[in-house]
Structure 1
Amino acid sequence: MSNESLNPSSLTTNGRLVAYSDSLKAGLQHGIEFTKLFDQLTNTKDANELLAASTALFDFQMDTDYVVYPHKYDANDYYLIFMSRLLELHNDKETVLHSREDNLKADTLFQTFPNVDDSEEFHFEQRPNQEGAFYVEQNSHQVIFSLNLKAKTMYFNSDTITKLFITEWSGKSDSDAITDAVDLFIQFGKYLVSDFGFNVDFNMLDAANSKKYVLAKPDLPEQILDKLFVATADNNLMLQNMDEAQGAFLELGNQIIFSLYKHATQDGESHWVITVQDPEEKYSLFDIFNQFGFLKKWFLDNLDDLQIGSKMV
């Protein structure tokens, strides 16, 4: 029954009492509808049911004018449960979902990764005037990726990949543990593509030979290539000029080729890009920096000019 039905000027005393009871029943029924979705989120073995429940719960408002539920999860938590459950359905269990008691609401949820620094906790956050939610490292609030279940999009943030994975974590955690955590993010993105047809931009984590890592800045100072030439020579490698474009390439062994060049697009614009090519498409730019320390140092030393662009805000 609508709130207008409770207007004293339009109802008798008995009518107001009946309307009050009906509003309570409606509020309680609304709560029951929530529990059905929540049970589906936590128990279903069907990926499509999991996505449907998560999407519905993200926008679900439990409270009504007459029934208020004091203990409830944040909308962000449903994204976190979705992520954990989807990985679980695919038997990927390297991430651990934790709950921390919170007297003001339902327990606070967060994720951790085995063998990664215990202080590193992860959860989803919403941002003003932006759709979906952002998966962040809880202490720094650095965004690892954005996720929008309704629009079916996921975008990795190149800035955080550089700051957190390549720089900060490398000095705090075992390199294999970091690789395992990053691989789990990649697998989650791949499951979104295979199970639901999401549009996922893996950014620096994309190992496809066709991937072009576009630099954020349109121009590249000449000395950047000069510095790369020196770095490669110091490591007994030879940086070679490209014939078909302005730029250079480097053979790293095992048929892995690292290239930096100016790429012209079909609309007539041009951008500096980095590409990584190998026969089995196993190496992303992130993998290259992890395996070849001199390239990582060159990249970080010249990050202002070499930062990879991102669809993230």
Structure 2
Amino acid sequence: MSDSLNKTVTFQPHQTKQTSPSPATLSTTGRLMSYNDQLKAGLQNGIGFTRLLDQLISTTSTQELFQAVADLTAYHLDTAYIVFPQQYSRSDFYLIFLNRLLDLHQLSGVVLQSSDQYHELYHEYPGINAAGYFVFKFPENDPSGAYYIEKNSQLELFYLDFTKHLLRFNSHTLTQLLLVDYYPKLDHQNIKKFATILLAIGNYLKRDFGFDVDFGLLDPINSCVYQISEPDLPTTIIDQLFVIAAKGGKMLEAGADQSAVLKLDNDVTVTIFREADPQQAHFGEWLLKVWDPQQTISWFDVLLHYQFLRDWYLNNLPSLEIKADLQYFS
């Protein structure tokens, strides 16, 4: 088709004439320009993503690290004109964040691995990697929260919410995984190292970003009071402890206000008591405390170390189990 057929000719006075693009040409040109602009915008969007990913994997600032994971989890990489077929998931970003957070605090022991079979990242821990590995899963009815789970068993070890600055450990699943499932088949020092890393994650989130953290049975602070599942504890369960403590070479002593005090090695004591102060939130309930001069020993550590206490606790788990936050764990 000749060029003359694509032009509109307008005759003007004095025999002058002007040409202008036809409507068809304007429409085609406009579409081409729009397409090109959309491609540029999509590419710029991808470049913006790479900058955030660079920040996540290389920053030395904890605040920049937190901002990067927050931005990446909300980032929409694909556009109407450019689709990236291979992308990291929200779980992947969370796992990278935890690895980097531990790295910035110079704490090793978590290995970030990639699964070609499932196209996902995952955490594994030396010494327990033969038993399981860990990823995040996301509840459908909770857009901002995530559960750190052991993939094979699907046990939820903790709940994490970056938006609410919230971390909740699940004492029930920690007991099941570490003291029931892993204890008979894994080196106990490796179980302890794993629990230490979980505790460190909670401490770093609390100190660096002001998270509200419930450590559950991992909490080693002397002021921690562990709530048990049955606040009106049958006295027969305490009577059992008197007997098995003696068999374990320890003495359970009667203390004030119906309390029972168990003295362990290195000046560590375990106290089971009924709250007698009416001004306290758990007045009248049976509670448990661990006291340690260094504030490094938790109820979990005690259970891991002392066979007779672990047996007593697991045999009476419906009554003695340390409570988890029911808002996040059923």
Normalising by structure 2, report the TM-score: 0.85
Pair 1:271 & 2:256 matched: no
The within-5 A match list for 1:13-24 is 13-24=28-39
Pair 1:46 & 2:58 matched: no
Rg larger for = 2
CA distance in structure 2 between the partners assigned to 1:88 and 1:117 by the alignment:
20
The within-5 A match list for 1:196-211 is 196-211=209-224
CA distance in structure 2 between the partners assigned to 1:268 and 1:44 by the alignment:
44
Tell which deviates more after alignment, 258-267 or 80-89. Answer: 258-267
- Following superposition, the deviation at residue 13 of structure 1 comes to 4.6
Alignment correspondent of 2:186: 173
CA distance in structure 2 between the partners assigned to 1:267 and 1:191 by the alignment:
28
Alignment correspondent of 1:29: 44
Structure 2 residue matching 1:15: 3-state secondary structure? helix
- Following superposition, the deviation at residue 181 of structure 1 comes to 1.3
Alignment correspondent of 1:4: none
- Among 212, 220, 225, the alignment partner of 1:212 is 225
Alignment correspondent of 2:12: none
Task: Tell me if the contact between 1:135 and 1:146 (Cα under 8 Å) persists in the aligned partners.
Answer: yes
Pair 1:126 & 2:138 matched: yes
- Aligned letter for 2:306? F
- Following superposition, the deviation at residue 117 of structure 1 comes to 4.1
- Among 109, 116, 120, the alignment partner of 1:108 is 120
Count of aligned residue pairs for this structure pair: 299
CA distance in structure 1 between the partners assigned to 2:234 and 2:317 by the alignment:
12
The within-5 A match list for 1:119-198 is 119-130=131-142, 131-198=144-211
Task: Tell me if the contact between 2:131 and 2:182 (Cα under 8 Å) persists in the aligned partners.
Answer: no
- Aligned letter for 2:59? T
- Following superposition, the deviation at residue 247 of structure 1 comes to 3.3
- Aligned letter for 2:274? K
- Following superposition, the deviation at residue 121 of structure 1 comes to 0.7
Alignment correspondent of 2:94: 79
Structure 1 residue matching 2:183: 3-state secondary structure? helix
CA distance in structure 1 between the partners assigned to 2:58 and 2:265 by the alignment:
48
Alignment correspondent of 2:300: 286
- Following superposition, the deviation at residue 217 of structure 1 comes to 3.0
Alignment correspondent of 2:241: 228
Measured against aligned partners, the alpha-carbon deviations of 1:139-163 in whole angstroms (never above 9, x if no partner) come to: 0111111122232221111011100
Normalising by structure 1, report the TM-score: 0.89
Structure 1 residue matching 2:285: 3-state secondary structure? strand
- Aligned letter for 2:72? L
- Aligned letter for 1:145? F
Q: Percentage identity across aligned positions?
A: 38
CA distance in structure 2 between the partners assigned to 1:169 and 1:268 by the alignment:
33
Structure 2 stretches lacking a partner, 5+ long: 1-25
Summarize the Cα distance change of 1:118–1:248 in structure 2 as closer, same or farther, 3 Å threshold: same
CA distance in structure 1 between the partners assigned to 2:131 and 2:315 by the alignment:
27
CA distance in structure 2 between the partners assigned to 1:98 and 1:142 by the alignment:
20
RMSD: 2.0
